[in-house]
Amino acid sequence: EVHTPIVISTWRFIEAVKVAAWHVMEEGGSAVDAVVHGCSTCELLQCDGSVGYGGSPDESGETTLDAMIMDGTNMNVGAVGALRSVKGAIEAAKLVMEHTEHTLLVGDQASQFALALGLPGPANLSTADSLKAWSVWRESGCQPNYWCNVVPDSSVGCGPYRVSHLSQRMTDNKCEISDGTDSEQCGSSSSKAVGFQNHDTISMAVIDKRGRIAAGTSTNGASHKIPGRVGDGPIAGAAAYADDDVGACGATGDGDVMMRFLPCYQVVESMRQGMDPASAAKDAIARIRRKYPSFIGAVFAVNRLGVHAGACHGWLFQYSVQDATMNDVQVFTVHPD
Ligand code: SD4
């Protein structure tokens, strides 16, 4: 049975899958363009609040974007990290891929590059909603001088991503912090589990009619991240990977941990060695779990024939698929091992 063309995306990003599927199936478009159209759809829709502008404010209240596109025909990659003032993150990534010899541009200069090449902006990536979420976070569980006092009973500093030696160092620094306000900038010391609820990348893989395979990602990263933090989204092999000869992978979850394992590179290489997609996905998750038993994350794997599977740890994972045999998007649910 022929499963290709096929579009697969993390989570229930149905609209994004539909747009990408339309592009490869009805219009006979390329896998790369389908991934870009699909992820752009989520950026515009602000899918789950975790893709695109107006979501996951960092410790200083700013939203920044990470995105990547990978062309599995020639292993070309373009990516942006900590993108500010441009909403079209995956379009910016595509510009990096197609108009430079580089792979990854970051921060203000990435925005300037994207603007210079014609993307709309500069745009404010904050919204009333994201600023509200940020102020609620600041106010909740934040005691006076919390920042300056070493956290009593946990290794977690002020924001969920700061560990105690850093807050200690900030103490020495008289509590001067990124936004120039006083020691009140802090949040609950409760850990990552809180941050993870809205921690959802779109990671998408597409196989087009000609068998070309592409994968890409777009995310606004982790809520309350330290300004400047870049996650797994724009790292080839971490949150996505594609190779026409083998297949593709997409990942989502705790990017700070997952990017240490290049789980999508692992999935594709395991399939290259002969593993089926389900085993390859499970193996990639197991490698992380062995070292980080409480990490939260998931991957999907698809081989070049369009056979797909998912694996996850610490949460229930869903991914969405539309292939040549389906009239509509189907959502698959994966239970943690
Ligand atoms: C990150 N991996 O920036 C992204 C967020 C995510 O599911 O995937 N959430 O860490």
Half-sphere exposure in the Cβ direction for 276 (13 Å, CA):
5
Contact 82, 220 (CB under 8 A): no
Give me the phi and psi of 117, to 5 degrees please. -90, 10
> Is 201 marked active-site?
yes
3-state secondary structure of 76: strand
Sign of the dihedral through C-alpha 230, 192, 196, 198: negative
Q: Is the pLDDT at 302 greater than 90, yes or no?
A: yes
Q: Which atom of ligand 1 is nearest to the CA of 199?
A: 9
- Expressed in angstroms, the distance from the first to the final Cα of the chain is 29
199 CB less than 6 Å from ligand 1? yes
pLDDT for 182: 31
From ligand 1's centre to the CA of 44, what distance in Å? 18
Nearest ligand 1 atom, CA 239:
2
| pLDDT tens column, 240-266 | 999 999 999 999 999 999 999 999 999
Structure tokens at 9: 């995306």
Contact 325, 15 (CB under 8 A): no
Q: Identify which of 337, 6, 56, 109 has the alpha carbon closest to the alpha carbon of residue 218.
A: 56
Tell whether ligand 1 has an atom less than 6 A from the beta carbon of residue 231: yes
Q: What is the pTM assigned to this prediction?
A: 0.86
- Cα–Cα distance between 53 and 51 in angstroms, integer? 7
Give Cα separations from 29 to 54, 247, 323 (angstroms): 30, 18, 15
Ligand 1 in contact with 253 (CB < 6 A)?
A: yes
User: Residues 4, 41, 73, 201: which is the catalytic one?
Assistant: 201
Q: Tell me the CA–centroid distance for residue 172 and ligand 1, in Å.
A: 32
Using left for φ > 0, alpha for ψ between -120 and 50, and beta otherwise, residue 232 falls in alpha
Residue-wise pLDDT tens digits, 19-45: 999 999 999 999 999 999 999 999 998
Residue 159: pLDDT band with limits 50, 70, 90: low
Residue 73 binned pLDDT confidence (cut-offs 50, 70, 90): very high
pLDDT of amino acid 180: 30
- Please state the φ and ψ torsions of residue 273, each to the nearest 5 degrees: -80, 0
